[in-house]
Amino acid sequence: MKLFVVAGLVLLLAGSFVSAKPIQADTQVPTDTQPDESPSQAWASSVNSAYSADGIMSSVLDMIRSMFGGDEPAAKTVAELADHAPGNVSMLVNGVKRADLQAVIGDPNWEATIFCPTNRAFRAALLKLKIKITDLYTDKTALMNILSYHTVPGPALTAGQLKDGQQLTTVSQHTLTVHVDKVEGTSIAGASDTGKVVAADIKAGKTVIHVIDEVLLPPKPSAEL
């Protein structure tokens, strides 16, 4: 059960940090409240929104800091943080709800490190998988596999504790590798994808969330290879 909880934290935490003010580029990307839109259409829209601009990442960071920095009190639980999640991370937040993880994310003593992808990253993953968000929501096994792959149980790791070459074991018992570069920043490498940390150290209770710009797809079971 803790596996699912940790995965849920990742999604929820990412949502709260982006809510301070809207990201201009993301306003062109429909949220999952429009189920009729195909993943390919959504991805094309995100590409046209100049995703490569560093300014988008800076805007995300500014929003997160303005919402959680300064005198803003930290959320006591991941669930509390998720209550304020904006549309930019709605797909992951909804995924946590569909996976029935509220009890876990509502525990103030839950300790984990969560790498939370944004909606933009999630849409790209859907395109790669050739599925719709509704398909993923109804397949709880696949949903839990993805969520647990983004969650590392145990004492939460801050950005300063993430070291180059560090190996992290996820709730799903897979390994993620940390890459730290003085110029490029910190990134998290999975089996086939690498996500750059675009917002770090978002705290909720004893859990720390780092927002990444890529969904890390877990490796396929050996039977499917």
Q: Which CATH number characterizes residue 179's domain? A: 2.30.180.10
**Domain membership flag for residue 97:** yes
pTM: 0.69
Q: pLDDT for 56-81, tens place per residue?
A: 444 444 444 444 443 456 788 888 88
The domain of 128 spans: 2-218
pLDDT score at 25: 36
Token pair 């935490």: residue: 13
Residue 70 lies in a domain: yes
Question: Would you say the C-alpha torsion 100, 104, 108, 113 has a positive or negative sign?
Answer: negative
Q: How many Cβ atoms are within 10 Å of 219's Cβ, its own excluded?
A: 15
Domain annotation covers residue 52: yes
Q: Is residue 186 part of a domain?
A: yes
Residue pLDDT, tens place only, 140-168:
998 999 999 999 999 999 999 999 999 99
Structural domain contains residue 223: no
Domain contains 198: yes
Establish if 225 belongs to a structural domain: no
Give the sheet arrangement for strand 185-189, strand by strand: 151-153, 111-117, 206-212, 194-204, 185-189, 175-181, 167-169
> Is 60 within 8 Å of 198 (Cβ atoms)?
yes
How far is 68 from 60, CA to CA, in rounded Å? Answer: 12
**Based on the structure, what is the number of domains in the chain?**
1
Chain-wide mean pLDDT for the chain? 73
Residues 6-44 have pLDDT tens digits of: 444 444 444 444 433 333 334 333 344 444 444 333 333
